[in-house]
Amino acid sequence: MKLIIINGPNLNLLGKREPEIYGSKSFLELFKELQSKFSGIEIDYFQSNIEGELIDKLHEVGFDYDGIILNAAAYTHTSVGIGDAVKGIETPVVEVHISNVHAREAFRHTSYIAPNAKGVIFGFGVKGYELAIQSFL
């Protein structure tokens, strides 16, 4: 089983700012914990602040991997291109958000990814990434 976590813009700042919303752990710390917890499967990680790089990565892994865990961050609410990429690939995508996007500003209630995702997990903090991995097992 080969999974990849793809994170979008600003998620490289996790653990550095806004701990009350996003927690105090860096993503690399969390990623190492996930890799040791799920040592029987391959989990890769990619982060970019650039929309086109996220689309290129979805195309690269989307016919080969068994699952994609995608937190497209702010692009979730704006990017028709990422939504189309999710629709165009074969690998199932689970959309994850750390915060409860529906308890926040109205613009965060829209997702261009959800209509073509296998499922959506939001509001459980960084634990959502673990729940998404479990959903593929």
User: Catalytic residue among 65, 75, 97, 112, which?
Assistant: 97
Smallest distance from ligand CA2 to CB 107, Å: 8
Whether residue 102 lies in the annotated active site: no
Query: Is 49 among the residues that bind ligand CA2 (CB under 6 A)?
Result: no
Nearer to ligand CA2, 11 or 43 (CB): 11
Q: How far, in Å, CA of 133 to CA of 43, rounded?
A: 9
Residue among 8, 98, 91 nearest 54 (CA): 8
Q: How far, in Å, CA of 122 to CA of 99, rounded?
A: 6
One-letter amino acid of 85: A
Q: How far, in Å, CA of 30 to CA of 40, rounded?
A: 17
Query: Is 82 among the residues that bind ligand CA2 (CB under 6 A)?
Result: no
Whether residue 65 lies in the annotated active site: no
Residues with a catalytic annotation lie at 22, 97
Q: Binding residues for ligand CA2, per CB under 6 A? A: 10-11, 13-14, 16-18, 22, 71, 73-74, 76, 97-99, 101, 108
